[in-house]
């Protein structure tokens, strides 16, 4: 093998020794005695290509935002590898590219530190928002708190806290401890309020339960008196409504007992009413017949005759007596209609015969007649003078007065 300048970055001498050329001069990189010069160069060029590939890969990682610390470590490693590389190629170019990456690493470190700081600030704000939401729940009036909803909200906040702690950036220890202390305090306050609220509610429920139990016993004691005790049961029902709540499940069971005691009384009353209604059935027939005889009064126009006839109907109505309960409204409505008609006739007569109104009407008629006579004279005078404007005004006023006269029946 002969000494040769096979390519710009290296050569092979006659012994098969391979040299690489750099800005510092020429240095030996190895031997390849059993092959040609081209084969020897190709072997060490492949080693260069491997180094160049590693540099290119690192440049790509930097462009994708790889952690600055990892990049700096890789640059240092490759710089050492390139400086003493047993390879043939533009090692100076690789060194310059690695130097450039060193500068980029410094910028990347600063950028990533700023991003990390911003991420911590954002995470701190998010963690603080979780704490403030928990503190807002803790500040609610326990008496007005919807505990089921509040408990669910607190659980959701705690889940967010855990997820944030696991997935978010690590917060400064002091800040993280202080926030956890606040969150834990809020959660303890909520739990304390919840227990106190339900303890108080349980006590109130016990009092209500005792009151309602006594009302049940009093209602059940009314059973022997049957229908006669309905009024007293209704009074007990008013007390029941004011007694409060004993919890839904218990309230439903207590109400079932109280209602059962009332049903006994109302059943007895219904049976008594049925017997009584049957006794009043004949009265119903008489009142229906009386209404049939009285309803022609709806066509009566003489108020005096209508009043006299209605009075006789009303007297007879009272003599007949009560009717079955489900028919009271039916017959009463028919009688009220007749009574309303008679009152209407009497009101109309009073309107016509009211002395004061009649006097006022007669006085107004006289005034209108006088005004019309004067306007007729004014019109005749204006026509004789040929005063068109005065004629128009007199006619307009005269027409108005005649319309008023017609309206008041003159």
Predicted local distance difference test score (pLDDT) of residue 20: 93
Closest CA to 69 of 30, 125, 108: 108
For the chain, the average pLDDT equals 83
pLDDT, tens digit, for every residue of 42-52? 999 999 999 99
* Bridge partners, 17 (sequence order): 31
Predicted local distance difference test score (pLDDT) of residue 46: 94
Q: What is the rounded CA–CA span in Å between residue 181 and residue 131?
A: 9
Predicted local distance difference test score (pLDDT) of residue 288: 92
Does 117 score more than 90 pLDDT? Answer: no
Tokens 């059943």, located at residue: 267
pLDDT, tens digit, for every residue of 227-252? 888 899 899 889 888 888 877 778 88
pLDDT tier, 324 (very low <50, low <70, confident <90, very high otherwise): confident
pLDDT tier, 312 (very low <50, low <70, confident <90, very high otherwise): very high
Across residues 194-220, what is the average pLDDT? 82
Does 110 score more than 70 pLDDT? Answer: no
Q: What are the distances in angstroms from CA 362 to CA 369, 373, 401, 405?
A: 11, 17, 15, 11
Does 408 score more than 70 pLDDT? Answer: no
pLDDT tier, 198 (very low <50, low <70, confident <90, very high otherwise): confident
Here the contacts of 322-331 (C-beta below 8 Å, separation 24 or greater) are 322/280, 322/283, 323/280, 323/283, 323/284, 323/287, 324/277, 324/278, 324/280, 324/281, 324/284, 325/273, 325/277, 326/277, 327/284, 331/284, 331/287, 331/288, 331/291
**The total number of residues written for the chain in this structure:** 410
pLDDT, tens digit, for every residue of 342-400? 899 888 888 776 655 555 555 666 677 778 888 888 888 888 888 888 888 888 888 88
Q: What angle do CA 160, 162, 165 make, to 5 degrees?
A: 105
Predicted local distance difference test score (pLDDT) of residue 391: 82
Predicted local distance difference test score (pLDDT) of residue 2: 43
CA atoms within 13 A on the CB side of 11: 13
Are 346 and 303 in contact, with CB atoms under 8 Å apart?
Answer: yes
Does 195 score more than 80 pLDDT? Answer: yes
DSSP-derived pairing of the beta strands 17-22 and 25-31? antiparallel
Does 112 score more than 60 pLDDT? Answer: no
Here the contacts of 402-407 (C-beta below 8 Å, separation 24 or greater) are 402/372, 404/368, 405/365, 405/368, 405/369, 405/372
Across residues 90-111, what is the average pLDDT? 80
Residue 303 CB contacts under 8 Å (≥ 6 apart), including other chains = 342, 345, 346, 348, 349
pLDDT tier, 4 (very low <50, low <70, confident <90, very high otherwise): very low
Secondary structure element (H or E) that encloses residue 394, with its range:
helix 388-407
Q: How would you class 118 by CB atoms within 10 Å of its CB: exposed for 0-12, middle for 13-18, buried for 19 or more?
A: exposed
Please report, rounded to a whole number, the percentage of residues in the chain having pLDDT higher than 90: 16
Across residues 286-309, what is the average pLDDT? 90
């Amino acid at each position: 093998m002969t000494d040769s300048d096979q390519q710009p970055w290296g050569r092979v001498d006659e012994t098969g020794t391979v040299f690489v050329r750099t800005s510092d001069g020429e240095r030996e990189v190895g031997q390849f005695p059993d092959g040609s010069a081209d084969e020897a160069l190709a072997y060490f060029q492949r080693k260069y290509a491997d180094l160049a590939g590693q540099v290119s890969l690192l440049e790509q990682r930097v462009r994708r935002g790889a952690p600055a610390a990892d990049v700096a470590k890789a640059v240092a490693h490759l710089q050492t590898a390139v400086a003493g590389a047993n390879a043939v190629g533009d090692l100076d170019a690789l060194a310059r590219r690695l130097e450039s990456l060193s500068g980029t690493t410094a910028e990347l470190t600063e950028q990533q530190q700023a991003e990390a700081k911003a991420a911590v600030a954002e995470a701190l704000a998010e963690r603080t928002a979780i704490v403030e939401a928990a503190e807002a729940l803790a500040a609610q009036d326990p008496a007005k708190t919807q505990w089921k909803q509040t408990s669910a909200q607190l659980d959701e906040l705690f889940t967010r806290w855990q997820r944030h702690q696991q997935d978010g950036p690590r917060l400064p220890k002091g800040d993280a401890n202080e926030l956890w202390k606040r969150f834990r305090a809020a959660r303890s306050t909520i739990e304390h309020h919840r227990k106190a609220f339900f303890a108080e509610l349980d006590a109130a429920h016990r009092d209500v339960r005792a009151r309602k139990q006594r009302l049940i016993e009093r209602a059940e004691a009314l059973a022997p008196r049957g229908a006669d005790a309905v009024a007293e049961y209704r009074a007990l029902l008013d007390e029941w409504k004011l007694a409060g709540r004993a919890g839904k499940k218990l309230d439903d069971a207590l109400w079932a007992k109280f209602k059962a005691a009332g049903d006994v009384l109302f059943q007895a009353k219904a049976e008594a009413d049925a017997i009584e209604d049957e006794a009043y059935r004949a009265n119903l027939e008489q009142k229906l017949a009386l209404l049939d005889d009285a309803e022609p009064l709806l066509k009566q126009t003489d108020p005096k005759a209508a009043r006299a006839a209605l009075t006789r109907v009303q007297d007879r109505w009272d003599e007949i007596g009560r009717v079955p309960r489900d028919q009271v409204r039916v017959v009463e409505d028919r009688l009220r209609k007749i009574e309303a008609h008679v009152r209407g006739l009497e009101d109309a007569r009073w309107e016509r015969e009211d002395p004061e109104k009649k006097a006022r009407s007669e006085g107004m008629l006289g005034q209108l007649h006088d005004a019309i006579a004067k306007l007729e004279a004014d019109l005749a005078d204006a026509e004789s003078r040929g005063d068109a404007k005065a004629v128009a005004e007199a006619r307009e006023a005269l027409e108005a007065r005649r319309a008023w006269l017609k309206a008041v029946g003159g």
